[in-house]
Chain A
Amino acid sequence: EAQVTQNPRYLITVTGKKLTVTCSQNMNHEYMSWYRQDPGLGLRQIYYSMNVEVTDKGDVPEGYKVSRKEKRNFPLILESPSPNQTSLYFCASSFGLAGSSDTQYFGPGTRLTVL
């Protein structure tokens, strides 16, 4: 089944404790992306990747890191989480880049709470 998977789905952690949220897709998509969703603000893009080893900042990259060592995986790293990073996070992927006619497929989301 074609899908985007994220792990963990729920995470409660404490300020400053490094964490990684994994994202994997099985559709051989070139483009992958991370978003955060906060009430009243919709989705905001954190980072995106056009291909292996090619990443770029979205609108809210501060406090996050990403890597794309393999085509299928795009982990999101919070080196020193803070309470303002408490949010619902989504990974997404698509064949083409933003602006192409390809649509994004979204993962189920990771609800992160930073105490």
Chain B
Amino acid sequence: SQQGEEDPQALSIQEGENATMNCSYKTSINNLQWYRQNSGRGLVHLILIRSNEREKHSGRLRVTLDTSKKSSSLLITASRAADTASYFCATDASASGTYKYIFGTGTRLKVLA
């Protein structure tokens, strides 16, 4: 399977704390994206990082990418109860000559008020 993996599978923190989740993938990529999903609803795009970038920020989100280790991390700072959701990374499969997307298995984040 080409599917990426994320860890932890589940994370529970207090409001105000930082949340870090990690994503590993298997092939060379052009970019990596992070998505958020609230309770079985459609995914919403959060942030995209290109393969030639090492770090990117957007509001309370910080994403890092290490192409040598084929891994990425998403940091949510000063978490809020509204951040409770599942988070997925997604990569392209350009290295295989196709236009597929490959998603990770997701991290379920619960932020306690």
B105 CB, min distance to chain A CBs, angstroms: 4
User: Across the interface, which residues of B come within 8 angstroms of A50, CB to CB?
Assistant: 99
Is A7 positioned at the interface, with any CB of B under 8 Å from its CB?
Answer: no
- Over the window 35-58 of chain A, the binary record of Cβ atoms lying under 8 Å from chain B Cβ atoms (1 yes, 0 no) is 100001111110010100000101
Q: Are A44 and B103 in contact (CB under 8 A)?
A: yes
A90 lies within 8 A of chain B by Cβ:
yes
In-complex Cβ contact of A109 among B4, B40, B98, B100 (8 A):
B40
Kindly state whether residue B59 has any CB partner on chain A within 8 Å: no
Q: Would you call B94 and A106 a contact (CB within 8 A)?
A: no
> Which of these binds chain A: B44-52, B60-68, B69-77?
B44-52
Across the interface, A107 reaches (CB within 8 A) one of B4, B42, B92, B106, namely B42
Q: List the B side residues contacting A98 at CB < 8 Å.
A: 92-94, 98-101
Given contacts A59-B1, A99-B94, A101-B31, contact A45 B43 (CB under 8 A): no
Name A's B-contacting residues (CB within 8 A).
Answer: 4, 31, 33, 35, 40-45, 48, 50, 56, 58-59, 88, 90, 92, 97-101, 103-109, 111
A-B contacts, 12 of them at CB < 8 A, read A41-B105, A44-B3, A88-B40, A90-B43, A97-B99, A98-B92, A98-B93, A99-B93, A101-B48, A103-B45, A103-B48, A105-B45
